[in-house]
Chain A
Amino acid sequence: MDKFRVIEIKESVFADNNAEAAELRLSLKKKGTLLINLMSSPGSGKTTLLKRTIADLKDELSIAVLEADIDSDVDARAVAEAGAKAIQLHTGGMCHLTAGMTRQGIEEVGLDGIDLAVLENVGNLVCPAEFDTGAAKNVMILSVPEGDDKPLKYPLMFSVCDVLLINKTDVLPYFDFDVDACVERAKKLNPSIEIFTLSGRTGEGFSAWTNWLKESVKEWKTAERVGDNAFVRYGRK
């Protein structure tokens, strides 16, 4: 029998996924589909926020939502009713989505003719921040009841996002949530992060967010190359 030998690998755990993500990003650029990786904790108001976003944009953009939640049939239906194509992804019970899983889901249904695809990542502020999904932009939702200290507790998540949505501003009077402190903490981790404060329930502050989406779709379709994003800049190498 052969002797044991050492096989040197010396590769970051994230290297393969990062390469796959870059490849997927390039193929989506060619299609002209802007993929947004939407991350948050469970209960941050993601579905309500998505439904309103779709309702506001459905006349101007064709939208698809890729759902990664383990038990999300209800969400998928709600999203479809709001006017977007809903697609269920298979996470295999994992705590995050990888670029491979995202690509598989996209290949199954195709995104031809879709301007904006929103990837609802698994509700979790830790693991999704470590795996680039191949999205063009990364967006996270932090809702007021979760507290303004979250950038201190989940620094990587706030670092890898291009946009932070501070959601549920309608309940601000009832919580000790300091918006300025939260903004300062997030900017310290990621100076280029764009922050919108809004409420998915009332629609307050929504136009700035939907305008950003429209601009980003336009930019993505017309830009010469893929360009980078916060995940590529600050994510795990």
Chain B
Amino acid sequence: MHELGLLAEIVDKIEEVAKENKVTEIETLVLDVGEYSGVVPVYLEECFPAVIEGTLLEKTKLQLNIIKGKAFCHDCKKTFMIAGNEQNCPYCNSQNCEVIEGGEFVIKEIVAR
């Protein structure tokens, strides 16, 4: 449900970047979406047409790069993929783990002229 608000924030940012770079046409907007960012890719795609209406991004395509979740275990110092190991470290069973990748929601780049 928060995807609409997040996209509105992104459109503002892109319009600012476009102005700085003297860009008038944006072909593609690329976002990095972590699996554990709490942002749902399908909802982003569904909200996108509504958010870009009447903006500089009206004809822009949305490209989403999904970033897999990765965690670091503070006890055995190993990293592991989170999928399937949501609760504990698969090597030592510790819960003292930290998400190091997959929590991000980043505006990567735009393709523009």
Contact = CB atoms under 8 A, between A and B. Distances in A.
Q: For A5, A8, A12, A13, which residue has the most chain B Cβ atoms within 10 angstroms?
A: A13
Interface stretch (A63-71, A94-102, A223-231): A94-102
A26 interface: no
B21 A98 contact: no
A126 B8 contact: no
Interface residues of A, number: 27
A17 interface: yes
Contact of B113 (A1, A94, A156): A1
Nearest to A92: B8
A9 B107 contact: yes
A236 B103 CA distance: 9
A124 B13 CA distance: 24
B101 interface: no
B13 A94 contact: no
Interface residues of B, number: 26
Contacts of B8: 94
A74 interface: no
Interface in B5-58: 5-6, 8-10, 13-14, 17, 21, 23, 25, 27, 38
B77 interface: no
Contact of A127 (B5, B27, B107, B112): B5
Given A13-B9, A236-B105, A127 B110 contact: no
A95 B107 CA distance: 21
A130 interface: yes
Given A5-B113, A7-B21, A13-B6, A127 B1 contact: yes
Interface in A210-236: 236
Given A6-B109, A9-B13, 12 more contacts: A4-B113, A5-B111, A7-B23, A9-B108, A11-B107, A12-B105, A94-B5, A95-B5, A96-B2, A127-B2, A130-B6, A131-B9
Interface of A: 1-14, 16-17, 94-96, 98, 124, 126-127, 130-131, 156, 236
Interface of B: 1-2, 4-6, 8-10, 13-14, 17, 21, 23, 25, 27, 38, 104-113
